[in-house]
Amino acid sequence: MERRTFLAWVAAAGEDSRFIAEARYYEKLPHRKIKCKLCPRECVIDDRERGYCGVRENRGGTYYTLVHSRVCAANIDPIEKKPFFHFHPGSLAFSIATAGCNVNCKMCQNWDISQARPEQVRAQYLPPRELAEVARRNNCASVAYTYSEPVIFYEYMMDSAEAARAAGLKNAVVTGGYIQREPLLALAKRVDAIKVDLKGYSEKFYKEVVNGELKPVLDGLVTMRKLGMWNEIVYLVIPTLNDTDEQFKGLARWVKANLGLDVPVHFTRFHPEYLLKNLPPTPLQSLERAKAIADAEGLHYVYIGNVPGHPAENTYCPKCRRMLVERAGFTVKSMEIRKGKCRFCHEPVAGVWG
């Protein structure tokens, strides 16, 4: 990941009150303990201890986030890199992250920040209004909360989303979707699009590889859909771990039944990282098999990702099958969607086209 510097780095280690704010979702317990109510894990945390995410700390019975405005990665990315293929294509997203994550995926590509505590990585002070201003000045159409896990910097994301919206920007979230219902409902009022990394389609996979649970993620996706938020789904295909026909079919059928045919699903190639360096990159055949299964279930927009130049990077009209958006990697080469419809047959194409 390229890390451009927009502001001065601040010291990684040490206390800095600028980054500390009281957490919004937690419950006070006897003996200065607290229970976190942000994600389904519901960590019960002693005084002076942190939650599983590593960025929230109990101080004397009050729970604090330590990463408000504490940005450890800031880049200007094409929105396609998130990937969002049906949300303002061809636009730029000012993309930020803080340290920390509420799961511990063995395949994490950004483990150096997601599995770190805030004091272990370099950071920049980037308060919400300044973030919105920097994004606007750099011709970004949106702010993307991404790279690590935005749920764990929830308070910063919420405040930033408000500032970004006031500045005329959109808000896009890239998340594992492991969040409780109440904070999700509040988030839905402030952001415009959520891409969920559906990391597998079995509880066993979530337990053994992700250190999380599948059901709350699926429930969250249904909630997002009901609220009318724009959603896309990424499924990272990992050899031997989540690449069976049954898993692909189960996923596609669940999407069809619960979210509808118009939610884009991206099957992306895995590269050996973090705790799964022993596995090979995903064979192209596995990705094409996944796409064929999802296509056969009738999903309208099924993509193959991390394979530059593959025809399944492009968007095709679900009715006339003509190519509507041609992509090369993260670049949009041609665009044949007009006012949300296919230029050729006028079939509506789901998405937020700007």
By CB under 8 A, is residue 314 in contact with other proteins?
no
Could you tell me which of 297, 300, 331 has the C-alpha nearest to residue 316? 300
Which lies closer to other proteins via its Cβ, residue 113 or residue 324?
A: 113
Q: Which stretch binds other proteins (CB under 8 A): 50-58, 65-73, 138-146, 226-234?
A: 50-58
Question: Residue 74 burial (CB < 10 Å; 0-12/13-18/19+)?
Answer: buried
Among 34, 39, 53, 251, binds other proteins (CB under 8 A): 53
Q: What is the largest CA-CA distance in the chain?
A: 67
Q: CB pairs under 8 A, 24+ apart, for 285-294? A: 286/237, 286/239, 286/243, 287/237, 287/312, 288/312, 289/245, 289/248, 290/235, 290/237, 290/243, 290/248, 291/267, 293/245, 293/248, 293/249, 293/252, 294/248, 294/251, 294/252, 294/255, 294/265, 294/267
The site that binds other proteins (CB under 8 A) totals a number of residues, namely: 27
Q: Decide: helix, strand or coil at residue 166.
A: helix
Six-digit token pair at 216? 């709350």
337: phi then psi, degrees, rounded to nearest 5:
-105, 130
By CB under 8 A, is residue 13 in contact with other proteins?
yes
Q: Which helix (H) or strand (E) holds 96?
A: strand 92-97
Could you tell me which of 21, 41, 37, 20 has the C-alpha nearest to residue 29? 37
By CB under 8 A, is residue 177 in contact with other proteins?
no
What is the pairing mode between strands 56-59 and 44-45?
Answer: unpaired
Among 31, 228, 309, 339, binds other proteins (CB under 8 A): 31
Smallest gap from Cβ 144 to other proteins, in A, equals: 25
By CB under 8 A, is residue 10 in contact with other proteins?
no
Could you tell me which of 250, 94, 246 has the C-alpha nearest to residue 174? 94
By CB under 8 A, is residue 339 in contact with other proteins?
no
By CB under 8 A, is residue 4 in contact with other proteins?
no
By CB under 8 A, is residue 47 in contact with other proteins?
yes
Among 62, 109, 202, 211, binds other proteins (CB under 8 A): 211
By CB under 8 A, is residue 116 in contact with other proteins?
yes
By CB under 8 A, is residue 32 in contact with other proteins?
yes
Smallest gap from Cβ 40 to other proteins, in A, equals: 13
How many Å from the N-terminal Cα to the C-terminal Cα in the chain? 27
Quote the distance between the C-alpha of residue 275 and its chain's center. 21
SS3 content of the chain, % helix, strand, coil (to 5): 30, 25, 45
Among 69, 98, 115, 247, binds other proteins (CB under 8 A): 115
Among 35, 117, 225, 256, binds other proteins (CB under 8 A): 117
By CB under 8 A, is residue 168 in contact with other proteins?
no
Contacts of 145 (CB under 8 A, 6+ apart): 95, 96, 97, 153, 157, 160, 161, 171, 172, 173, 174, 175, 191
By CB under 8 A, is residue 50 in contact with other proteins?
yes
Smallest gap from Cβ 145 to other proteins, in A, equals: 21
Smallest gap from Cβ 303 to other proteins, in A, equals: 30
Among 6, 19, 52, 145, binds other proteins (CB under 8 A): 52
By CB under 8 A, is residue 109 in contact with other proteins?
no
Among 4, 5, 14, 228, binds other proteins (CB under 8 A): 14
Q: How many CB atoms lie within 10 A of CB 224?
A: 24
By CB under 8 A, is residue 213 in contact with other proteins?
no
Smallest gap from Cβ 163 to other proteins, in A, equals: 29
By CB under 8 A, is residue 176 in contact with other proteins?
no
Among 38, 51, 266, 300, binds other proteins (CB under 8 A): 51
Among 274, 330, 344, 353, binds other proteins (CB under 8 A): 274
Please report, as ranges, the residues that interact with other proteins according to CB under 8 A.
13-15, 31-33, 44, 46-54, 104, 106, 111, 115-117, 119-120, 211, 274-275
